[in-house]
Amino acid sequence: MKKLIVFLLLTNVVFSQEKNDTVLKTKIDTLFIAKDSLIKPIKPTFYSDNDLKVIDSLLIEKQFNSALIDTLVYVINDKDITRNTTTVLTSALLKVRLSALNDRTPFNLAYNPSLEKVINSYLRYRKRYYPALMAKAKYYFPMFEQYLDQYDIPLEMKYLAIVESALRPKIKSRVGATGLWQFMYGTGKQFDLKVSSYVDERQDPVKATIAACKYLRQLHTIFGDWDLALAAYNSGPGNVRKAIKRSGGNKNYWNIRPYLPRETAGYVPAFYATMYLFEYADKHKVYSEVPEFFNFQTDTIQIKRTITFEQISEKINVHKDVLTDLNPAYKLAIIPFIKGRNYALRLPSTKIVEFLDKEEEIYALADLADAQRENPLPKYFEMDKRIRYKVRNGDFLGKIAQKFGVYITDIERWNSLKSTRLKIGQRLYIYPKK
């Protein structure tokens, strides 16, 4: 009898759990609909805090790890902010920490209730993704800081690349913005980022960073304020000018925020929240994973002919995935040799000497691959030598064939002639051998 009671209790628990999971799944399916490869929210009206936590976690997990989606919605809008009522960090402590940050950066990091909600939302729902981001940052941030310093831009601007791309150099937005700094094709071209069938320089970490520095410097010259430069980087300087005008001439970001496009209104707070989490990560017990490479553990080398990742991997035993990660600008896993563009190969520093030792072998392997590639058959080159001959008085097929070193049957075949009789002025296609 006892066994039966225990069995019934367990069955009831399992059934109850399955029922709860089904209800939550129904809520999730109702809340999110797939459209254009993105997940779009529908207004929630009956979700518990636990439901919202699970839903947010599933959404971010999809954005980070899905093989089908290569975009990350890092900016959260006002609906996301107002739904969040959970306090992870008290207002008093946040004010102290923001004040300390504000003292050492030119950004306006004054306390704001909306910013507090964004930071609390990140701490509650996104905290677990930061160890992986911090590992990527150990590779990219030294590179960013070098050029930010060179162009006299605040070093904290490195956090912008996290908001833009989550430090994924091949990321592409639904509107076509690409790379760590999310350049559109036209803007990238304006700052000398070339795009071809082989290479997308918007995905090149160094070249894209230099372009971003030039653009940010230009925006700061226009507005004289780094917060407004951030807003303009996202929505364009025109939208920021309109927001300033509509606000009555205000130039503080928080004062013009209601007049900015919705995405931009959440963009700068997302930047501040990211900066806060990185700067105070240890206070929230967030620690970096171990990166695969630090930036100083890699180096570049100029190549002397077109080669593939596969050919490099075969000779110096570097996995193709490593070459892809270190050289994200090469779209087809091929490094082209193009005069004037100086395309380079980035390798782990420990492999540079080995590459130099086997460089000629790699080029020989590339030569062999080129030689084994199927070439057009000689008979198809005849199309390039075709002429159109006009029949003159006294011409006949034998005379024309002798003149061009071909056979009469060739002329008949090339022109689908049903008779050997020709008319003066008639046009004939000839593939001359003389």
Is the residue at 151 inside a domain? yes
CB 70 within 8 A of CB 106: no
User: What secondary structure does DSSP assign to 36-60, as a single string?
Assistant: TTEEEE---SS--HHHHHHHHHHHH
The pLDDT value given to residue 100 = 94
Q: Kindly state whether residues 186 and 316 are assigned to the same domain.
A: no
CB 244 within 8 A of CB 251: yes
Distance of alpha carbon 184 from alpha carbon 300, whole angstroms: 27
The pLDDT value given to residue 177 = 92
| pLDDT over 90 percentage in the chain | 54
Closest CA to 304 of 344, 248, 251: 344
Q: Kindly state whether residues 254 and 148 are assigned to the same domain.
A: yes
Enter the pTM of the model: 0.70
Tally of structural domains, the chain: 4
The pLDDT value given to residue 417 = 87
Q: Kindly state whether residues 218 and 328 are assigned to the same domain.
A: no
The range of the structural domain enclosing residue 312 comes to 296-372
Is the residue at 53 inside a domain? yes
Is the residue at 192 inside a domain? yes
Enumerate the β-bridge partners of residue 429. Answer: 388
Residues of the chain under the 50 pLDDT cut: 2-47, 52, 55-57, 59-73, 75-82
Q: Kindly state whether residues 123 and 234 are assigned to the same domain.
A: yes
DSSP H helices in 236-319: 237-246, 253-256, 262-279, 309-316
CB 316 within 8 A of CB 354: yes
Q: Kindly state whether residues 334 and 403 are assigned to the same domain.
A: no
Is the residue at 110 inside a domain? yes
Is the residue at 291 inside a domain? no
Tell me which of 337, 372, 407 is where a domain ends: 372
Q: What is the CATH number of the domain that holds 256?
A: 1.10.530.10
Q: Kindly state whether residues 278 and 308 are assigned to the same domain.
A: no
Question: Residue 315 phi/psi, 5° resolution?
Answer: -90, -35
Enumerate the β-bridge partners of residue 346. Answer: 300
Residues 6+ positions from 44 with CB-CB distance below 8 Å: 31, 52, 83
The pLDDT value given to residue 59 = 46
Q: Kindly state whether residues 259 and 399 are assigned to the same domain.
A: no
Tell me which of 234, 258, 284 is where a domain ends: 284
Q: Kindly state whether residues 248 and 194 are assigned to the same domain.
A: yes
Q: Kindly state whether residues 154 and 216 are assigned to the same domain.
A: yes
User: Tens digits of per-residue pLDDT, 186-213?
Assistant: 999 999 999 999 999 999 999 999 999 9
The pLDDT value given to residue 7 = 43
Q: Kindly state whether residues 101 and 211 are assigned to the same domain.
A: yes
Is the residue at 289 inside a domain? no
Q: Which sign, positive or negative, has the C-alpha torsion 153, 158, 159, 163?
A: positive
Q: Kindly state whether residues 360 and 397 are assigned to the same domain.
A: no
Residue 366 burial (CB count, 10 A): 19
The pLDDT value given to residue 19 = 39
Is the residue at 74 inside a domain? no
Q: What is the CATH number of the domain that holds 407?
A: 3.10.350.10
Is the residue at 231 inside a domain? yes
Tell me which of 47, 69, 91 is where a domain ends: 69
CB 429 within 8 A of CB 415: yes
Q: Kindly state whether residues 195 and 252 are assigned to the same domain.
A: yes
